[in-house]
Every structure is written in structure tokens, then in C-alpha cells.
Amino acid sequence: MSHDHHNPIDHPEVQLASAGGYLFAYAFGLGAMLLGLWMVLNHTLTPVGLTTAVSVIALVSVIVQLYFLFKLDLSSTQIWHTVSIVMTAPLFVMAVGLTIWMFHTLMQRTMIPLPGMGM
Amino acid sequence: MSSHATAPVDPNNVVLWDYEDHGHDFIGTRSIGFWLYMMSDAMIFAGLFAAHGVYVHNFAGSFTANEVIHPINALWPTLFIFTSVLIYGFGMVALKKGSRSGVINALLLSFILGVGFLLMEYREFSELAAMGAVPQVSGFLSDFWVIVLTHAAHVFFGLIWMAVMIVQIMTNGFTQNNVYRLINLKLFWHFQAIIWVCVFTFVYLMGGI
């Protein structure tokens, strides 16, 4: 490694830190989780409605945290971080979604329907 | 990289090579490398969440999700992990200002809150063990223990890393090595908050529906 020319603190990834952004992510994340908890405890919707609602809340909360905690944007400092998560997210969704779909339809797809076994 | 080739070139004074070794972006390459590791770590959780979707109704005639999971109890660990992440963020702001005591204090507080998180989980799972809801009882319980405790294991190793960083900053200060380690630990620690959002929502909240 070559000798230091710069103070490492001047590196753009250090300079990304922002107290306001972290506070916003904290307040938003906590608020979203409290909202989800309140909805579940009070049975505000039908089970399917609740499942959808808390999933949407979690998704929004994750996106807000990704942006405000990691500063994922298209700036020259961060673009490869952003590209890598854009590449990973579909793998994540497919791994979870396809596995669950596969197992929940396994019976219909593999078993010969027996008489009287309503499908 | 640089593009100041617009000025006319004086052939008598042209410099054909750079005598100084600028090196590569030491901090940037390590941060993107660790970020790629975090992406693969996310895929571990993808596997666990997929297993959760499959096993969540496999009670084997034993405890159901409603009997084991109490979403309100998960609120305390949520508060601890989110606050720990926030304080770590303030530590990064202190780093930006070059304040050594600020970084060390933030790391210490973040560490203590992380320990609080683990103690909460320890209490929850020792209660489960006391009532006989251990992993070998059913597919659902195996999945529940593994998914929550995998996250807890991440927090545990993050705490070890944090303790090491406190010592390294005390002894060496903000060297290039310590700064990239702080950035990578930030990626790791903040990632735990994001995974916890998913665990809280898809395991605890949905277990309470």
C-alpha cells in the first residue's frame, strides 16, 4: 500500500454521514413498526388485508432505511452499491416467493387426486 | 477519472507519466467488497424467510404461532436495535468531524444497546424453552428459533466487532484501516436494522394475525 496522501476522514463515504438522515430513518422505521403492531393488535382489517398492509409498511420502511441509512443513490460514490442491491433484490424476491409458491402448490402438482379429495 | 486534457499541450514541458503513486481508492474498494458480502448475507435470510413461509403452519399438533409469538414483546428488542443503529449513525457523524471521543462514546452506547437487545431475546427464548417450545418440537418452532437466532448471531458478532473497533480507535486513531473498518461495521450494523424490520413484520406481526 502506498503512503497516505489524504486524511481518510475526507473520503466521500465518510462524508456521507448525516445526523438528520439517520434520525429520520429511526423515526420512520419505529413509527412504521408501531403502526403495523397497532393494526395487528386491534385487528383493524381482515387477516388477508392485514398481511398485505403490514407487508407494504415493511417494504416502504426498508426502502426508506436503505436510502437514509446507506445513502443508496446514483452519485459516483454510491452507484455500485446501488447497482448491486438492484441486482440482488430480484434474486431475494424470487428465492422467497418461488419457494413459498412451490411448497404451497406442491400437493396439487405432485399428487394424483384421490376420489373424494376435493381440490 | 480526471479529464483536464482540454488545455493545449506544450511539447517541451509535457510530462508523460505520473511520478507519484496515487494508489487505488483503498476505502472505496473495501466498502464495495463488504457491501457485496452483505448482499450474499441477505440471500441467507432469503432462504430463512422462504423456509418460514413453508413451515409457518407446520405445528405438528403442538404450539401454534399465536401461542408462541407475542408481537408486543418484540417491541422492546425493536426499540433497542433501532436506537443502537441510530447511535452508531451519530458515531459516523462524529467520525466525519474527526472527533475521537465522539466515535468511542457512540460505539460504547451502541454496544450497550446491542447487549440489551440480546438480553431481551435471551429472556424471550428462555421462556419458550421453559414452556417446552423448543426447536425439535415442530417445523414451525425449528424455523422460528433459527430465523430469530440467526439475526441474533449477527448482532452478537457485530458486538464483538464493535468492541474490537473501540480498542483499535483508542490505540491507533483514525487510520485508513480503522476508517474503512468503521464504514464496513456501519454497513453491517445498519443492515441488522433492515433485517429486523423483516423479522418483526413477517415473523412477529404475521405470527400475531
Using the predicted structure, report yes or no on whether residue A32 has a pLDDT greater than 90: yes
Of residues B23, B45, B27, B24, the one with CA closest to residue B35:
B27
Nearest-angstrom CA–CA distance, B34 and B31: 5
Nearest-angstrom CA–CA distance, A68 and A62: 10
Q: Where are the domains of chain B?
A: 73-208
Q: Which long-range contacts (CB under 8 A, 24 or more apart) does B27-33 make?
A: B27/A8, B27/A11, B27/A13, B27/A14, B27/B176, B27/B179, B27/B180, B27/B183, B28/A11, B28/A12, B28/A13, B28/A77, B30/B180, B30/B183, B30/B184, B31/A13, B31/A81, B31/B180, B31/B183, B31/B184, B31/B187, B32/A80, B32/A81, B32/A84
Nearest-angstrom CA–CA distance, B63 and B60: 8
Measure in Å the smallest separation between the Cα of B78 and chain A Cα atoms. Answer: 8
CB atoms within 10 A of CB A83: 13
Q: Which of B10-19, B60-69, B165-174 is the most confident on average? A: B165-174
Mean per-residue pLDDT, B128-139: 94
Q: What is the pTM of this model?
A: 0.87
Q: What is residue B8's predicted lDDT score, i.e. its pLDDT?
A: 75
What is the share, in percent, of chain B residues with pLDDT greater than 90?
Answer: 77
Q: Evaluate whether residue A118 is within a structural domain.
A: no
Which grid cell sits at A111?
399428487
CB-closest option in B46, B82, B202 to A30: B82
CA closest to A32 among chain B residues: B197
Mean per-residue pLDDT, A76-100: 94
CB atoms within 10 A of CB B173: 12
Q: Evaluate whether residue A97 is within a structural domain.
A: no
Nearest-angstrom CA–CA distance, A86 and B168: 34
Q: What is residue A1's predicted lDDT score, i.e. its pLDDT?
A: 42
Q: What is residue B140's predicted lDDT score, i.e. its pLDDT?
A: 94
Which letter does DSSP use for residue A11 in this model? Answer: S
Whether the Cβ atoms of residue B122 and residue B153 lie closer than 8 Å to each other: no
Cβ B27–A96 below 8 Å, yes or no?
no
May I ask the CATH architecture of the domain B73-208?
Up-down Bundle (1.20)
- Number of A to B CB contacts under 8 A, please give it: 157
Using the predicted structure, report yes or no on whether residue B1 has a pLDDT greater than 80: no
In angstroms, the Cα distances linking B186 to A48, B92, B122 are 36, 8, 24
3-state secondary structure of A87: helix
Q: What is residue A2's predicted lDDT score, i.e. its pLDDT?
A: 43
Q: Is B33 on the interface with A (CB under 8 A)?
A: no
Q: What is residue A5's predicted lDDT score, i.e. its pLDDT?
A: 56
Structural domain boundaries, residue A48: 17-70
Of residues B90, B95, B91, the one with CA closest to residue B173:
B95
Q: Evaluate whether residue A53 is within a structural domain.
A: yes
Which grid cell sits at A24?
429520520
Hey, of B86, B90, B143, which one would you mutate to test binding to chain A, going by the most A CBs within 10 A of its CB?
Answer: B86
Mean per-residue pLDDT, B149-157: 97
Q: What is residue B6's predicted lDDT score, i.e. its pLDDT?
A: 66
Using the predicted structure, report yes or no on whether residue B197 has a pLDDT greater than 50: yes
Q: Evaluate whether residue A78 is within a structural domain.
A: no
Cβ A22–B201 below 8 Å, yes or no?
no
Residue B11: in which H helix or E strand, if any? none
Q: Is B118 on the interface with A (CB under 8 A)?
A: no
Q: Evaluate whether residue A80 is within a structural domain.
A: no
Nearest-angstrom CA–CA distance, B36 and B58: 34
Cβ B205–A88 below 8 Å, yes or no?
no
CA closest to A105 among chain B residues: B54
Using the predicted structure, report yes or no on whether residue B121 has a pLDDT greater than 50: yes
Q: What is residue A61's predicted lDDT score, i.e. its pLDDT?
A: 96
Q: Evaluate whether residue A82 is within a structural domain.
A: no
CB atoms within 10 A of CB B158: 20
Residues 74-93 of chain B whose Cβ lies under 8 A from any Cβ of chain A: 75, 78-79, 82-83, 85-86, 89-90, 92-93
pLDDT tens per residue, range A45-65: 999 999 999 999 999 999 999
Q: Evaluate whether residue A7 is within a structural domain.
A: no
pLDDT tens per residue, range A89-100: 999 999 999 999
Q: What is residue B202's predicted lDDT score, i.e. its pLDDT?
A: 93
Task: State the average pLDDT for chain B.
Answer: 92
Whether the Cβ atoms of residue A96 and residue B50 lie closer than 8 Å to each other: yes
Using the predicted structure, report yes or no on whether residue A43 has a pLDDT greater than 60: yes
Using the predicted structure, report yes or no on whether residue B16 has a pLDDT greater than 90: no
Using the predicted structure, report yes or no on whether residue B207 has a pLDDT greater than 90: no
Q: What is the band of A3 on the pLDDT scale with cuts at 50, 70, 90?
A: very low
Cβ B96–A47 below 8 Å, yes or no?
no
Hey, of B58, B72, B180, B205, which one would you mutate to test binding to chain A, going by the most A CBs within 10 A of its CB?
Answer: B205
In angstroms, the Cα distances linking B81 to A28, A54, B158 are 14, 20, 12
- Of B65-74, B126-135, B141-150, least confident by mean pLDDT is B65-74
Residue B187 vs residue A111, higher pLDDT: B187
Task: State the average pLDDT for chain A.
Answer: 89
Q: What is the band of B54 on the pLDDT scale with cuts at 50, 70, 90?
A: very high
Structurally, how many domains does chain A consist of? 1
Q: What is residue B166's predicted lDDT score, i.e. its pLDDT?
A: 97
Of residues B197, B43, B37, the one with CA closest to residue A94:
B43
